[in-house]
Amino acid sequence: MPKVIRRSQSRRVAGRPAADTVDQQLKLRGIADVLVVLNQAAGEPLAAAVPGARARSTFGAMALSMSATTVPVATDPAGGLPMDLMSLFESPYEASMEAESASLTLRASGKRKRPIVSPAGGEIVPALYLDRLRMVLGSVSAGGLKGLRRHNLVKRVEAIPDLSLIRPRRLAAAQPTPEINWGLSRLNIPALWKQGLDGEGIKVGHLDTGADGTHPMLKGAFAAFAEFNYIGKQVVPDPAPHDTDIHGTHTAGTIAGRPVNGHRMGVAPEASLVSGIVIEGGKVTFRILAGLNWILHQGVRVLSMSLGIPGKADVFLEITNVLREQGVLPVIAIGNEGPGTSRYPGNYATVLSVGAVDDRDQVASFSSSDKMPPPPPPARIVPDVIAPGVGVISCVPGNRYMSMDGTSMATPHMAGLAALLFQAKPGATPDQVEKAIFASCRRSSGMPADRANRGVPDAAVALSNL
């Protein structure tokens, strides 16, 4: 019998509660990690968004509407932010006493607040400007927060809760079989292969623990790979694809694993992965958001993420809106905590959320499901769809294979299907691909609506719908 590793059934999840506010963090720690949403339109240079007047903007108003004129903006060349805005942030070293900061050295530099130099010599500025997300990440004191809330470039300031990986509920050593993985057959993926659809030319964003590029299933599968340090900076130039765990290699193999000795486990075996190491460790949400900003520079059409925060909050709603606005379909796991639970951003209406089904067409007992209250009416059920997430065999580092259970295993199936559909119709929007998938779903008798929502997609029907 293969050795089976079972994850704890506890629903406790590390990280700050979603209800934390910036002011609560300041009261507890004297410092707060913040996400700053900028008054910046899509594609607009940052300097153009700074009005000539210094009046405080109203919530949600675009800065350009306040003044038709702009003034030259003194920017920090390392961070790309106006100096007066960057000066409001504390350095990551001052904001964190974590062990990882001990490996960094400090130096003084003009008006900077004790900037940090990485071991590789690259300067780490106090704040991260995420140009495609139109946001800034950093740590602030009470005075800095007051300044941010008054700054005419700032739309609003949010607290940053900690996202966590959605860990598999079961892991077991496995060997691939000559048959196509049951999950691919259940989704009718071979019907699209027969029509010449294999994902070629489509880039899929994959933010996880990384992925082992030396595994035979993943050799040649990467269009880009990045590693983000504990505060979201890329400090390793052109890293080779590797995994800091096993989770990312497994999910990457389900998305785009190449056939090996007749074994077929990847939904879109010619798709290209844009993969980043973003979890876990350090300031996890800084790393994840930096990864999201990076993939938006890489031309991806689909994003696969198996992470989230238990509960309901809208702190990342604007981020998922930006992804769709820029042509990316976010496909996100709903969670492994069972009925009556869900994780955000997987429970947002702006993502395609995925639960798990087994090979008997039963919703997996661990698969999260939830009723999301209006607005807008009517009440909404999550996940949007369910996909194969029990006994899923894929690759793991060390030229090995494992069988895993989890909504993390179901999510890459849907990301791979979306890649095939984008290949079939390159001009399709995320909304069109999502609607085609939704309209292809069917529920069997073992799939209650409040657990499975629309049910399991059929790839051939989705293609016809598209």
Tell me which residues are annotated as active site.
Answer: 208, 247, 408
420: nearest Cα among 254, 268, 203: 268
What are the backbone dihedrals phi and psi of residue 203, each rounded to the nearest 5 degrees, phi first? -100, 135
Distance CA 399, CA 257 (A): 13
Which tokens hold the place of 345?
């951003």
- What letter would DSSP give residue 239? P
Secondary structure tally for the chain: helices H, strands E: 13, 23
Distance CA 419, CA 199 (A): 6
Are the beta carbons of 243 and 211 closer than 8 angstroms? yes
DSSP 360-404: TS-B-TT--BEEEPPSSSS-EEE-SEEEE-SSEEEEETTTEEEEE
Distance CA 79, CA 389 (A): 41
Taking CA atoms, 254 is separated from 174, 370, 431, in Å, by 15, 26, 23
255, containing H or E segment: helix 247-256
Are the beta carbons of 116 and 95 closer than 8 angstroms? no
Distance CA 213, CA 135 (A): 31
- What letter would DSSP give residue 100? G
Are the beta carbons of 171 and 5 closer than 8 angstroms? yes
Distance CA 353, CA 457 (A): 13
Q: How many CB atoms lie within 10 A of CB 26?
A: 18
Q: Regarding beta strands 123-124 and 370-372, do their DSSP bridges make them parallel or antiparallel, or are they unpaired?
A: unpaired
DSSP 9-78: ------S--TT--HHHHHHHHS-EEEEEEES--TT--TGGGSBSS-PPPPTT--GGGT-S-B----B-TT
Q: Regarding beta strands 272-277 and 135-140, do their DSSP bridges make them parallel or antiparallel, or are they unpaired?
A: unpaired
Distance CA 373, CA 139 (A): 33
Distance CA 199, CA 184 (A): 14
- To which residue do tokens 């933010």 refer? 207
